[in-house]
Amino acid sequence: MRYVLLIVVVLLGLPADSYGQRKKTSGKKPKTTTQKKVKYDRLPPDVELGTEVRRDVLNDKGEVVAVEVTTVEKRLRELKARYRKDLLVDSKGREIRFFHPLCRGVSAGAEEDEQERRAKDEELAALRQKYTVIILYCDPRQVM
């Protein structure tokens, strides 16, 4: 009785269209689609594909809610970047620029830090008006 029940369960588990049929295969290998690999070989000298960059996560109101760390290569793929006449541009045709944020381990003083932070913020705002900006990540553990 156990064997009959086991056979019934196995037969019910098989798909109906393949029951009793042999799998038809040809000697040819299936075609594999190769993804077009984009090389970003003309990056600035201080930026490599493995360099960590910051990606801001925005809410519905456009406010920064979180910051993700990714690589230059992944970020360029997200932006669908390509070269146009030796310029790195995004999918909309805007030039892509890399921005080095203020990153220091030792404070020079509260006033100097605030002045430098304001200057960097103004520089970033000016760049964002004209270009697509990728902000390099400043790892606080490595600054000292």
Residue 111 resides in a domain:
yes
- Please give the DSSP secondary-structure letter assigned to residue 51: -
Residue carrying structure tokens 């990606």: 55
Q: Compute the mean pLDDT over every residue in the chain, rounded to the nearest whole number.
A: 82
Residue 26 resides in a domain:
no
SS3 of residue 53 by DSSP: strand
Structural domain containing residue 87: 52-136
Question: What's the gap between Cα 6 and its chain centre?
Answer: 50
Element (H, E) at 125: helix 110-130
For the stretch 32-85, pLDDT in tens is: 555 555 578 889 999 999 999 999 888 998 888 998 999 999 999 999 999 999
Residue 131 resides in a domain:
yes
- CA distances 100 to 51, 53, 78, 128, Å, are 12, 10, 20, 13
Instruction: Give yes or no for a contact between 67 and 47, defined as CB atoms under 8 angstroms apart.
Output: no
Residue 28 resides in a domain:
no
Q: What is the rounded average pLDDT of the residues 79-92?
A: 93
Give me the number of domains the chain comprises. 1
Residue 35 resides in a domain:
no
Verdict on whether the full-model pTM lies above 0.85: no
